[in-house]
Each structure stands twice: as C-alpha cells, then as structure tokens.
Amino acid sequence: MLALLTPGQGSQKPGFLTPWLALPGAEPRLRWWSALAGVDLVHLGTTADADEIKDTAKTQPLLTAAALLAAEHLPLYDVQVVAGHSVGELGAAAIAGALSAESAVTLAAVRGREMAAACALEPTSMAAVLGGDEAAVIEAIEAHGLYPANRNGAGQIVAAGAVERLEKFIADPPAKARVVKLAVAGAFHTPYMAPAEKALAAIAAGVTPNDPTKILLSNLDGAAVGHGRELLQRLVRQVTAPVRWDLCMRTLADIGVTAVIELPPAGTLAGLAKRALPGVEILSLNTPDDLERARDLIARHGVAVTAEPAPQFRVVVAQAAGTFQPADVAEGSEVAAGQVIGHVATRQGPVEVTAHGAGVLTEWLAHHDDPVAPGQPLARIGGHL
C-alpha cells in the first residue's frame, strides 16, 4: 500500500520549481493557477528569493500548485492513500478527487492571504520543541498560555501563541527538551487565526466537493474522511485547530502502508516518516529526475482504488482503525442525515459513524466487532440522496 504526502509551509526553497517548468505544459498550467491565486507562481517557484517565498500569502498557493504539478506526472489511479500537512491538505484533497485543482489553488490563496492578515493583528509566533516527554511538553506549553499547534511525532511539537509568552517559554524549556524559535509570521493553527477561518469558510461555502476516491487522512485526528462536505468543513476548521501529523502517521502504520512518496518540495515529511514508520520505503520527489523512481515505487506498492460505481448509493466508511460496533439499525430502515449508525472502537476512544445523507440503509458492509481500517466501507445508503 502506497501513500502520497504533500508538505506544508516551511518546506519551500528558492528555485525549487525551476526543473519542473521544463516539462511540457507545466508553465501554462502554473500561469493559469497564478491567475486564480492572484500571485505569480512561475516567478515564486523559480526566481523569487527566500524572503519573498516566506510570505504566507504567497507560500500557500505556491506549495499547493507544486504538489499538484508533480502529481500530474504520476499514475495516481494506483495510489491508495493521500495525506497533507497543514496547507498540504488542499493539494491532498485534489489528488484524492475531492476538490478540483482550481478549487484547491484558489482556497490556498484565500487561506494564505487571510492567515497573513490575521498574523498582522497582534504579535504572535511559533517555536519547535525537540525532545522531552510528550505529556510534560504539552503541559508546559499550556502552562505558559500557549498552544500545541503542531504535533508532528518523532519528538517534535510546535508551540504557538503571543510573542511575550513564547519568549518566556523559550527561556524556561521543559525538561530534556530544546526549544527553537521559528521564523514564521504568526501563531498558525491556534485561536489567533479565527478571522482567517471565518473568511475561508465564506469562500469554501461556494465550493462543491466530491467524495474522495482514495483514503484521505485528516490533520484533525488522523482519520480517513469519506465525504466531501465533511472534508471541506475539516479543511476550514484546520486553520485554528492543531495539526495532528502524529496521528496521521499512526494511521499510515495502522493500515499497513509499505511505501511513501513526498511530493515537492520534499524532505520534511519524509524525514518524519523515516523515524515513525520503520521498514517503509520512502522517496522524496523533488525534481523530474525522481519521477522514474516514483513510478517504480507506485508500480511495486500501489493498487488501484476506485470510487463506488453506483452513483445512486453512498458508502459510509470508517474514519479510524479499530473494531466496528454497528447501531441497532436494520437493513431497509430509513436513516436521517447525521444520524449515528455505529462507532469504531479505537485506542483513543470511540469514533462515531454517521450517515452523511438521508436515505435507506440498504446493506451493512461490516458487522459487529469486525476489525476495520480507515477508509474501509461500513454501510451502503441509497435513495433520497
């Protein structure tokens, strides 16, 4: 089983898209996306310096476009799992078929502009906490009035909040931990980004998503998201919610992923995966020279996953690994949109399984105490869709 990973802000490097523009159709594609994003993605990916591409408003659409540009040169029908870190979730959603490339780039541009605007409202920042006991680190972050904005696994947690509180935290680090201030514009993935979340929600309301055709993991909790509307809600919520990349990697391990490809600009997520997923074959795809190796990896580890063929039915899937506990709902019964039809018992507690549309529960696809993996079909609902 193979997973594609799309990186987040901070992974960009000056000129990283230059070799990609030599591929047929790449430059016109970027110019089209530039028109949607309101920034010159060709310039940003080739001749812009490090300071310019550090601008949140420019970085986010640039990273989304880069992942999508590289993904177009891969046999995606054989890729089973997709996950993105922070803004990388937008590219991942498009690769999984839930958003169009145009929607993903446009939302990334709005997200970047609005988060940059939110950063300007008051002085906030972020710092990486390396090492230390995880529980003690979280406790120390919260004791200083800060937020654990990113929990990346492999002994890496990012604290975020007011600059004054962050400086006191850096001067008083948790036991056996090192704290490094990050060169970022503000406290991403915290309540300080509430204005950006509100603005993104207003634009996202006009987007019509599809249900993903691949296992698509969410930063909120590492769960697989099976329905487009829920995915869009999660993407908006993620602006102020912590990035739980540690849970995404746990899910990759739980479902038996055997190979990982990180899309450009690659390296950060590949490094985390090497520590968290021993024995998994990992490739950083940074230039077109890496495409042949990436295609070989997909050929050896990928298996085609297709969408549900009958459009009049909707399949409810598991969002986490565990054992399935169906509710007392008989096949042939009417169910309402949002009705709880069971739960998945996980190591972190029960995860509710809900019907995402009204209709008739036509068939249970999993039964009491069946072990299930994220993205596994649990029930089929038909009619009134």
Active site residues: 86, 189
Length of the chain measured in residues: 385
Structure tokens of 149? 């904005």
> Could you give the strand order of the β-sheet that contains 177-181, starting from the edge strand earlier in sequence?
147-153, 156-162, 124-131, 177-181
Question: Measuring CA to CA, which residue among 103, 17, 106, 13 is closest to residue 61?
Answer: 106
Measured CA to CA, the distance from residue 310 to residue 164 in angstroms comes to 56
Measured CA to CA, the distance from residue 279 to residue 121 in angstroms comes to 45
Contact 357, 368 (CB under 8 A): no
Query: Which H helix or E strand runs over 131?
Result: strand 124-131
**Hey, is 109 helix, strand or coil?**
helix
Phi, psi of 84 (to 5 degrees): -130, 150
Q: How many helices (H) and strands (E) does the chain have?
A: 12, 17
Question: Measuring CA to CA, which residue among 259, 256, 204, 253 is closest to residue 89?
Answer: 204
Measured CA to CA, the distance from residue 142 to residue 127 in angstroms comes to 13
- Partnered with residue 283 across adjacent β-strands are 261
The one-letter amino acid at 15? G
Find the Cα–Cα–Cα–Cα dihedral 44, 47, 50, 52, rounded to 10°.
-50
